[in-house]
Amino acid sequence: MAQDKLKIVPLGGLGEFGMNCMAIRWQDDIIVIDAGLMFPEEELLGVDIVVPDISYLTENREKVRAILLTHGHEDHIGGLPWILSELNVPVYGTEFTLAYVEGKLEEHRLLDDADLNEMIPGKRLTLGPFSIMPIRVTHSLVDCVALAIHTPVGVVLHTGDFKIDLSPPDNKPFDLHAFAELGKQGVLLLLQDSTNVDRNGYTPSERAVRPKLDEIFSQTKKKLFFSCFSSSIHRIRLAMELAHEHGRKVAIIGRSLDNSTEIAQDLGYLDVPQGLVINPGQIRDFPANKLLIMISGTQGEPMSALSRAAVNNHKFAHIDADDTVLLSSRVIPGNEKSIYRMIDHLERRDAKVIHDDGQSGLIHVSGHGSQEELRLMINLVRPKFFVPVHGDYRHLKRHAELAGSMGVVEKTILLEDGDVLELDKGSATKTGKVTVGRVCIDSGGTSTDVVEDIVIRDRKHLSEDGIVLPIIAINKRTGLLENPPEIVMRGMAIPEEGLIAEARQVVQRTLEGSSSEEKADYGVIKEKIRNDLKRYIQKSTSRRPLIMPVILEI
């Protein structure tokens, strides 16, 4: 009978990076693996985050048993507040993952009603017909697991994000033995991370960055600014160890870094020597060569601490000539412009910038396995069927080809979001599609609005609140204003005369309070003008018009 088949239904993450979410269904029971978000492309105006459409789950709400989280990165847990507000089901994750989740749910006032349960690697849990064994894997974050899901037709193994690191800094290595055991028992389906399928060889261990970073610490004569992803606990720990060895005090700047280091300390992943960390306000009390400043903003986000410091607009972080700025992270595709713009500002300050350009030596390693690790995993578990997950279509296709060429797998299947794969002990067939898509979330102001469709949303927005165009003419050579800002308002449905004059003052004040470097960086200056005007108009009119600053170069 058709209902005696296991259904695998990807709701996000197959055909894009981010938004990872997958439903696994046996008859009247569904479990969900991960609940991620992705950040919007530039053309999604006014959208803060994008989460998967979970219509399939809400239509079957009484069948959903739980959400299981492989690890704590945003592309795996960031959609949880949105999903739990629609569907309050139990959530399972490792201790560190749940610490991140708690912070996120508290922010959205959902923590009191949430049912959070800790998963322990190696300890089995049962949900309806599913028996789940979390297996420790290594990644760029701590406390990550793969999930071996024992179902009535066989074992489905979901790797989560992983690389095979046998000597990680926290001495909790990748559990090769557990995967080999599964291979002996037989695996029906392997769902494997495709992120680095384009890279040959093996991904180096997290420990491999130590020699180069040690060298940078010993050669830096003045302040050392260190930026990495706030979730890279191993990297934060290494930076603190090196600071201690080289006699530098550590100041931590940026909310996300602050939160992560606090959680990592509470859970024993960071052992910070007494007196090593100082308050950002104490930076000026120490000589430059005795300071390590850990700062967030490695992707050049316009209002991040490092972007603001790069244009000399940060209360505590002042970057002087001959200071060293180390970006210990990769460039996320799509962020190249903002990162290189920030590097330009840093270079203008005569800072020495070290980033992952292939020339700087090993200052960053990926958290995802390269081709040989993907092959090793397939050889270890020897699955009957193989489905690549996590990546753009080209990554999934290449990964399916790699698995197919090994002669181990009986059948590789390429799935995209919404495809339904039906499995029994001997067959795997694509049988149809469910509704999937992107839900755009605008979390501006106090509420979280779902943007149903970007065009309808913009039309609605414009019809209700209008549009404001601040037009600023800046002299490209001098960075000075050519004439006072012009403000064009349309569709505001309120008397505009006094409002325009005041709005002009607001823009003028923003510009006067910005350095010439900020004015030369149109991304930063537009964001500042938009924020200040939005605040003023919302306060004085209770409206939220679309604000689109226009910069004219003269």
Q: What whole-number distance in Å separates Cα of residue 362 and Cα of residue 215?
A: 11
Catalytic, out of 150, 158, 355, 368: 368
Question: Cβ distance 327 to 229 under 8 Å?
Answer: no
Which is nearest to 533 in space by CA: 517, 518, 546, 516?
546
Q: What whole-number distance in Å separates Cα of residue 6 and Cα of residue 20?
A: 20
Binding site per annotation, positions: 46, 48, 71, 73, 75-76, 139, 161, 364-368, 390, 442
Burial class (CB in 10 A: 0-12, 13-18, 19+), 221: exposed
Burial class (CB in 10 A: 0-12, 13-18, 19+), 403: buried
Is 108 an active-site residue? no
Is 453 an active-site residue? no
Question: Cβ distance 453 to 478 under 8 Å?
Answer: no
Question: Cβ distance 453 to 460 under 8 Å?
Answer: no
What's the sign of the alpha-carbon dihedral 287, 289, 294, 296?
positive
Which is nearest to 19 in space by CA: 454, 438, 434, 442?
438
Catalytic, out of 143, 165, 193, 521: 193
Which is nearest to 31 in space by CA: 63, 71, 76, 78?
63
Q: What whole-number distance in Å separates Cα of residue 546 and Cα of residue 444?
A: 12
Q: What whole-number distance in Å separates Cα of residue 506 and Cα of residue 207?
A: 50
Binding site per annotation, positions for Zn(2+): 71, 73, 75-76, 139, 161, 390
CA distances for 300 relative to 169, 425, 501, 509, 550, angstroms: 28, 49, 33, 25, 21
Structural tokens at position 20 = 């990872």
Binding site per annotation, positions for substrate: 364-368
Binding site per annotation, positions for Ca(2+): 46, 48, 442
Q: Which residues are catalytic?
A: 193, 368
